[in-house]
Amino acid sequence: MKSDVIVVLTTVANSEEAERLARKIVEAKLAACVQILPPMRSVYVWENAVQSASENLLLIKTFDGKFDELDKFIREHHSYEIPEIVALAAENISASYLGWLQNSLA
């Protein structure tokens, strides 16, 4: 089934921040579900140098219409100066999961 569901990705420095941010996002009804993946290693450029750090990835399930508000919310509650905020369209989604998302964010 076609949908306007998106999965927003953001990374945080540790599991405590991941849990805190995920709870705040769900409590604010900006997402129906946030999954916290275990620590991983990120390699990136920051301040003109290649850096490496342990991070947790959050997978945030929401609707495209909530992206701007979610983007602002993440930036306000995130510890990073420039947090990763990337939305991927969920091109197809099961009808039952879509219904759950709609009910959760109503």
Whole-number pLDDT of residue 56: 98
- Average pLDDT of the residues in 3-13: 96
Domain span at residue 70 reads: 5-104
- Average pLDDT of the residues in 90-94: 93
- Average pLDDT of the residues in 10-31: 98
Q: How far apart are CA 77 and CA 80, in angstroms?
A: 9
The CATH code of the domain that includes 92 is: 3.30.70.120
Q: How far apart are CA 76 and CA 2, in angstroms?
A: 31
Taking the model in full, what pTM does it have? 0.95
pLDDT in tens, 58-69: 999 999 999 999
Q: How far apart are CA 35 and CA 8, in angstroms?
A: 11
Structural domain count, the chain: 1
Residue 99 has pLDDT above 80, yes or no: yes
